[in-house]
A and B are shown apart, each in its own frame.
Chain A
Amino acid sequence: MSMIVIQGLCKQFRGAATGLFGHRKPIVALDDVSLAIAEGESYGLVGESGSGKSTLARCLVGLERPTRGRIEIDGLDPLADRQRTAKRLAETVQIVFQDPYSSLNPRMQVGAIIEEPMIVHRSRLGLRRDARRRGVARLLERVGLPPSCAARYPHQFSGGQRQRIAIARALAVEPRVLLLDEPTSALDVSVQAQILELLGALRRSMGLTFLFVSHDLGAVRFACDRVGVLWHGRMVEEGVTAHVFDAPAQDYTKNLLAAVPEVDPDASIAVRRAGA
């Protein structure tokens, strides 16, 4: 059963005018992209800047209206009736953003940050105040933070801890899908590793579906079952992560993988030049 289905998704932006009377050439951000993500699967979307991966993610949660194409998330069509589906969509998909420094309100206590989505969605969750407080403590524990954190402010936490808070907030409405937009890019490697481990554990225990958008191919290899490679708005290659990374079929994917500096002194520029 597919949790997310995207069919023939196209998105064009109005480009800059060329000259005084020049017509605006549209910028093609997404060009006929299709993909399906099964329930419980972790799907990685990789590509360089301008490849369209963020546009796709934004279309998926209704932040951007595609020019053409069909989207279905857990049977919901976010494009059909925005008014009616917006809230149900938010209950299904939650987002963890790249920068935990700007995605948490510095004036709110951590407890209030995590509780807020439960208040917004109280009609479905039906949680009273004391139940919400217990929920906050449980969520904090789930992401590896002591419940006493609830009374503190975001600036009192490190980058990795803040990302844990952002994850706890995303889980507050019991979503089925997490959209992870470069969730580890702003973090140090050892902290990255911890966050990737945490996300993997949460996915297994809660049966979540992940759409993991990243330019960090190492993180995607670790965290994703399948991967799609975007280039200039087109899906150039898709498949099981290990297969795509070990035996890429397309030239672009090969170049992309070859460009990643591996921690291997034999792969250094000096060695290659000496051998050439």
Chain B
Amino acid sequence: MALLQINDLGLEFVAKRGATQVLHGIDLSVDRGQIMGMVGETGAGKSVAAMSVARLLPSPPARYTSGRVLFEGRDVLDFAESELRRWRGVRIGMVFQDPSSNFNPVFTVRQQLMDVALHVANTAPERLGLTPHAGRRARRRAALDACLSLLDKVGIPDARARFDSYPHQFSGGMRQRALIAMALLGRPELLIADEPTTALDVTVQARVLELLYDLVEEFNLAMLLITHNMGVVAKLCTDVAVMSDGRIVEKGDVRSVLRDPQHPYTRKLLNAIPRVRPAAGEQAPAAQAP
């Protein structure tokens, strides 16, 4: 059984005037070493699907109408709040789009990373190589070591010196790297990245994608990558699920979906992309007006 298995997941948002179904029976599985890209346009439901995996949607208004989200065989939708806290940020890590709004501007990078690292040390000490009886000082020490070694691993040069910087003193790419380090502090099995490179310049984006690829290999991660950019999918992902109107319309390994798309929506999406280096005979965004 795969690490993450989503079966027939249905979700609606309840409002005064009635409910809106936003996910219609999603089926998806991601295993270690796999990078699953979820692509689709605005409102397709890709972020909502990822947020429901992490149980991040407030309920109400969110209401699960069907299905299960199995993480190592256990249904996340049944987790109690206390269990969720030990699970989020530890077993699953999350990276979101805008690196500048994901850090609190009034705290240093050290304070914010240490918050997470200490949370891991206290709720899951074994993840930082600690025994359950490790004292406060040992936990602090292990948390600090974890922060510095991860900052180093994500390619922040001279991590120890920059540790006490404020987020605004980092460039966009460095902030995103620090955010990725933060997401990995709990040694998660699953990494959810929601548009992790969308706010970055292309040359920076290329380097962050390389980093994500390396991290998946090194930590044997399962990764769920939400993006609207088919190029990012082609570059990084092993598998892809194309979403439209709350449904997965097509999924499969990246090569076959991009080479031989079966669903008309996938074809339309691929045809609409203006290419930088078009192949002979193709050069026209060709999306029909709705």
Could you tell me which A residues sit within 8 Å of B by CB distance? Answer: 48-49, 144, 159, 188-194, 196-197, 215-219, 221-222, 245-246, 255-265, 267-270, 273
Smallest beta-carbon distance B235→chain A, Å:
4
A191 B287 Cβ-Cβ under 8 A? yes
B289 touches A194 (CB 8 A): yes
Which of A49, A190, A218, A256 lies at the interface centre, i.e. has the most chain B CB atoms within 10 A of its CB? A190
CA distance A261 to B273 in the complex (A): 12
Chain B: minimal CB distance from A18 (Å): 14
Residues of B within 8 Å of A189, CB to CB, are 41, 228, 230, 269, 272-273, 287
- Which residues of A have CB within 8 Å of B276? 217-218, 221, 245, 257, 260, 262
User: In the complex, which residues of chain A have a beta carbon less than 8 angstroms from the beta carbon of B42?
Assistant: 159, 188
User: Residues 230-252 of chain B: 1 if any A CB is under 8 Å from the residue's CB, otherwise 0?
Assistant: 11111110100000000000000
A110 to chain B, nearest CB (A): 18
Stretch in B106-114, B131-139, B178-186, B206-214 with 4+ CB within 8 Å of A: B206-214
Cα-based distance from A197 to B259 in the complex (angstroms): 25
7 A–B contacts, CB within 8 A, in A order: A191-B287, A262-B235, A262-B276, A263-B230, A268-B235, A269-B236, A270-B213
Asked if B205 contacts A261 (CB within 8 A), the reply is yes
List of 5 A-B pairs having minimum Cβ-Cβ separation, nearest first: A193-B285, A261-B231, A218-B274, A188-B41, A48-B201
Interchain Cβ contacts within 8 Å, total number: 119
A256 touches B202 (CB 8 A): yes
Chain B, residues 248-261, CB within 8 Å of chain A (1/0): the string is 00000011001100
Residue of B nearest to A255 (CB): B203
- The 8 Å CB contact of A222, one of B238, B268, B283, B289, is B283
Q: Name the one of B210, B231, B238 contacting A263, with C-beta atoms under 8 angstroms.
A: B231
* Cβ contacts under 8 Å, A191 to chain B: 41, 287
Assuming the contacts A259-B206, A262-B234, A270-B238, asked whether A193 and B229 have C-beta atoms less than 8 A apart, the reply is no
Q: Is the CB of A193 within 8 A of B286?
A: yes
Cβ of B230: which chain A residues have Cβ within 8 Å of it? 189, 263
Q: How far is the CA of A268 from the CA of B237 in the complex (A)?
A: 8
Which of the residues B203, B209, B235, B274 comes within 8 Å of A221, measured between beta carbons? B274
A190 and B272 contact, Cβ closer than 8 Å, known pairs A222-B285, A261-B231: yes
Answer whether residue B56 sits at the interface, using C-beta atoms and an 8 A cutoff. no
User: Could you tell me if B269 and A215 are in contact, using CB atoms closer than 8 angstroms?
Assistant: no
The residues of A that contact B41 with a CB separation of less than 8 Å are 188-191
B14 interface hit (Cβ, 8 Å): no
Task: Check A193/B272 contact, CB under 8 A, given A222-B283, A265-B259.
Answer: yes
CB under 8 Å from chain A, chain B span 54-71: none
Q: When the two chains form their complex, are residues B277 and A256 in contact, meaning their CB atoms are under 8 A apart?
A: no
C-alpha gap A259/B225 in the complex (Å):
19
CB-CB under 8 A from A192, the residues of chain B are 272, 274, 285
Question: Of A196, A255, A262, which is within 8 A of B275 by CB?
Answer: A262
User: In whole angstroms, how far apart are the Cα atoms of A153 and B73 in the complex?
Assistant: 49
Contact A260 B202 (CB under 8 A): yes
Instruction: Name the A residues within 8 Å of B228 (CB-CB).
Output: 188-189
Residues in chain A near residue B209, CB distance under 8 A: 261, 269
The reply to whether the CB of B19 lies closer than 8 angstroms to some CB of chain A is no
The docked-state distance in angstroms from the alpha carbon of A269 to that of B201 is 18
CB atoms of A269 and B210 under 8 A apart:
yes
In the docked arrangement, what's the CA distance between A216 and B254, Å? 23
Q: How far is the CA of A78 from the CA of B25 in the complex (A)?
A: 59
Question: Is the beta-carbon distance between B201 and A194 smaller than 8 angstroms?
Answer: no
| B231 and A260 contact, CB distance less than 8 A | yes
A265-B236 CB under 8 A given contacts A221-B274, A259-B206: no
Does B234 contact A265, Cβ atoms closer than 8 Å? yes
Given the interface contacts A189-B41, A190-B269, does A268 sit within 8 Å of B277 by beta carbon? no
Residue of A nearest to B237 (CB): A268
* B28: interface (CB < 8 Å): no
Docked complex Cα distance between A263 and B284 (Å): 15
- A273: nearest chain-B partner, CB-CB: B213
